[in-house]
Amino acid sequence: MVAIPSWAGAGSAMASFFFVWAIVRNHMPKELHFFISTTFRKAFSFLNPFNHIKLHEYDGKHMRKDELYSAAEAYLSSACLEHARRLKAELRRKNDRPFITIDEYEEVTDTFCGVTVWWHASKQLPISTTTVSNMEERRFYRLSFHKRHRNLIENDYLEHVLTKGRAIIARNRQRRLFTNIGGVSRSMVWSHVDFEHPATFDSLAMEPERKKAIMDDLVIFREGKEYYKHVGKVWKRGYLLYGPPGTGKSTMIAAIANFLEYDVYDLELTAIKNNTELRQIFLATTAKSIIVIEDIDCSLDLTGERKDKKKKKYKDETQAPPSKAIEEVDITNKVTLSGLLNFIDGLWSACGGERIIIFTTNHIEKLDPALIRRGRMDMHIEMSYCTFDAFKVLAKNYLGIENHPLFDSIKELLLDVKVSPADLAEGLLKNSGIKDVDVYLQNLIKNLNKSKEEAKKNAKDMVAN
């Protein structure tokens, strides 16, 4: 009869081996210990069919959170959360819903192109056992996969996780409104507040066809990274918003920011000393952002009439021209047109991507043609007086109606009366206490007729004079 080997005996032999090995290695030369350990690891690696990639929470200096780790955390919270048994929740910002992701020492699976991978959340505890500080704990993700899929994971899957994770972070983050600080320092050039403007394209008083054209253009830009790279252009786009005051230029900027989910940088040119400081401020902006210069015609003397003004100022021979030293100081302490153009589409504009630049003006005729030509301000958007289609949007937003018998009279009046959407909206707010829609619309018609008569009277007076 053949004797069956005893597993208990084998276990005892292994325990004895490891006990003896622990004693021997303490007296073993370091070179020999390194050789034996390396040999064991190579043998185990040969038998183990899996590869592993670690994603640490912080960089090597343990000071800055690693972007790939953050993207993986966001990706797992969206794509793999349903497979996890242990979760953790935390508030990422004030008054926000909890951010939920997998807890430490939890493992989830994911599938990419038919290949299964394993994510394991873990952390490295401090070496010292006397004091345990949360600041000393280093969290990381370990990504495991079969070694035959290594090229797919390294070249495609990690990029997939990074792209999806970045999109989730951008969608969930608190967007910000920045303004440049006067007396800029190298460490801090922008201050910011939370951007919480409620404007959307649905609430924007503008014709539906024009809104759709703008939204389609924005979508093409947002999804055009590879196209811009292919044609050799910087991934940016310029929009010029022009029209009378109160026609919704600032509201349009807020609607674009909410539509794209971008941060907004409100650039005050008069607070910038020179072109060098302008470049420094520009380099401190981030991708997925809108850089706004409102009332560009009032910010600086950047119109095409600058040279004529300078000649006119000193044409009187009795007035002494400025000294050379004063001229040099004047030049070095101002943002010039050429400096601004380089900021928009020169070499410095290539430092970063996915940026939108918006200028607003009430007087487009005052701007230098070089500043607003196509390629710099790619799309010119006229913000006009209120049309009937724009009024219908306001009526829906403020009164909750989409049609009314009095609309025909209002439509005819808006063809003759120049009234801004802001004025109509203000009138809606003032009459918000009127519950009878008929009464409000009758009052509106009365006011429009009054404005029409005043406009006729003013026109007659001008002709008489």
User: 33 or 244: which carries more pLDDT confidence?
Assistant: 244
**Minimum mean pLDDT range among 159-163, 195-199, 371-375:** 371-375
Task: Report how many domains make up the chain.
Answer: 3
* pLDDT beyond 70 at 337: yes
On whether the CB atoms of residues 285 and 260 are closer than 8 A, the answer is: no
Q: How confident is the model at residue 144 (pLDDT cuts 50, 70, 90)?
A: very high
pLDDT of residue 241: 96
Q: Which two tokens stand for residue 318?
A: 């009795």
**Minimum mean pLDDT range among 234-243, 279-288, 303-312, 410-419:** 303-312
pLDDT of residue 39: 65
Judgement on whether residues 207 and 292 belong to the same structural domain of the protein: yes
pLDDT of residue 187: 54
pLDDT of residue 124: 76
pLDDT of residue 310: 45
Overall average pLDDT of the 207-223 stretch: 94
Q: What is the pLDDT of residues 231-267, one digit of tens each?
A: 888 899 999 999 999 899 999 999 999 999 899 999 9
**Minimum mean pLDDT range among 57-71, 160-174, 268-282:** 57-71
Judgement on whether residues 373 and 393 belong to the same structural domain of the protein: no
Of 402, 227, 368, 399, the closest CA to residue 300 belongs to 368
User: 91 or 58: which carries more pLDDT confidence?
Assistant: 58
* pLDDT beyond 60 at 299: yes
* pLDDT beyond 80 at 376: yes
Could you tell me if residue 31 is inside a domain?
no
* pLDDT beyond 80 at 384: yes
Cβ atoms < 10 Å from Cβ of 39: 10
Judgement on whether residues 184 and 116 belong to the same structural domain of the protein: no
Could you tell me if residue 143 is inside a domain?
yes
Could you tell me if residue 37 is inside a domain?
no
* pLDDT beyond 80 at 24: no
pLDDT of residue 129: 46
pLDDT of residue 162: 92
- Helix (H, G, I), strand (E, B), or coil: what is residue 435? coil
* pLDDT beyond 70 at 63: no
Judgement on whether residues 228 and 349 belong to the same structural domain of the protein: yes
Q: Which two tokens stand for residue 24?
A: 């021997």
Overall average pLDDT of the 88-103 stretch: 71
Q: How far apart are CA 65 and CA 452, in angstroms?
A: 62
Judgement on whether residues 228 and 364 belong to the same structural domain of the protein: yes
Judgement on whether residues 99 and 208 belong to the same structural domain of the protein: no
* pLDDT beyond 50 at 4: no
Judgement on whether residues 406 and 343 belong to the same structural domain of the protein: no
Highest mean pLDDT, choosing among 39-53, 151-165, 437-451: 151-165
The pLDDT mean for the chain works out to 79
Domain of residue 64, residue span: 47-125+136-173
Could you tell me if residue 118 is inside a domain?
yes
Judgement on whether residues 75 and 196 belong to the same structural domain of the protein: no
Measured in residues, the chain has a length of 465
The residue behind tokens 């403020």 is 398
**E strands, 267-353, in order:** 289-293
User: 298 or 145: which carries more pLDDT confidence?
Assistant: 145
Q: What is the pLDDT of residues 308-333, one digit of tens each?
A: 444 444 444 445 454 443 344 344 45
Q: Torsions phi, psi of 179, nearest 5?
A: -140, 145
**The pairing of beta strand 263-266 with beta strand 379-382:** unpaired
Judgement on whether residues 196 and 167 belong to the same structural domain of the protein: no
Judgement on whether residues 377 and 397 belong to the same structural domain of the protein: no
Overall average pLDDT of the 114-135 stretch: 69
* pLDDT beyond 50 at 284: yes
β-pair partners for 359? 240, 293
Residue 289 belongs to domain with CATH number:
3.40.50.300
Q: What is the pLDDT of residues 73-95, one digit of tens each?
A: 889 888 877 777 788 887 766 55
Residue 339 to residues 272, 367, 395, Cα–Cα distance (Å): 12, 16, 45
Q: How far apart are CA 386 and CA 250, in angstroms?
A: 16
Could you tell me if residue 321 is inside a domain?
no
Q: Which two tokens stand for residue 202?
A: 């649905």
User: 430 or 455: which carries more pLDDT confidence?
Assistant: 455
Dihedral angle sign, alpha carbons of residues 73, 59, 354, 265:
positive
* pLDDT beyond 90 at 134: no
**E strands, 70-106, in order:** 87-90, 99-102
20: left (phi > 0), else alpha (psi -120 to 50), else beta? alpha
pLDDT of residue 13: 61
Could you tell me if residue 427 is inside a domain?
yes
Judgement on whether residues 94 and 217 belong to the same structural domain of the protein: no
Amino acid at 326: I
Q: How far apart are CA 40 and CA 43, in angstroms?
A: 5
Could you tell me if residue 13 is inside a domain?
no
Looking at the chain, the whole-number percentage of residues with pLDDT higher than 90 is 31
**Minimum mean pLDDT range among 21-25, 169-173, 233-237:** 21-25
Judgement on whether residues 221 and 360 belong to the same structural domain of the protein: yes
Amino acid at 109: T
